[in-house]
Amino acid sequence: MSRFDRGRWNRILVWTGAALAWGTALIAARVEPNGPTESAQPSEGQVASVSPQAAMPTAPSQGLVILRFTRVETPEPEVLTVTVGRAAASSSPPAQAAAVAQSAPAPSSSGS
């Protein structure tokens, strides 16, 4: 059993189609130029004017805006070489090991 009856599905499809057609018409109206403006478009050898402090250059009426990226050299990471040597083994164990090896004192009873 469907949650939506046939009439409700038809209304959903009609409204979805109308919304898509309306959105397509708006996008098409924005993309198409209003009139021929040959002087406003940069020719093949010209570059659109870009101010050095602008976040984005002014968009031309047609065509693409090419943004160029200049790489910055990253410094080489420093290489650290650490040499770890093993100390010569001694015949007597360290003092800390001897203290740990001692047994705990025997418990004493208070006589209660």
15 pLDDT band, cuts 50/70/90, is very high
What is the pLDDT at residue 94?
57
57-63-66 Cα angle (round to 5): 45
- Rounded to a whole number of angstroms, the distance between the first and last alpha carbons of the chain is 82
Prediction pTM value: 0.29
List Cα–Cα distances, 72 to 16, 69, 82, in angstroms. 49, 9, 31
Vertex 94: Cα angle to 90 and 91 (nearest 5):
25
Long-range CB pairs of 80-85 (<8 Å, 24+ gap) are: none
- pLDDT tens for each residue of 34-92: 555 555 555 555 555 555 555 667 778 888 877 777 888 888 889 889 898 887 766 65
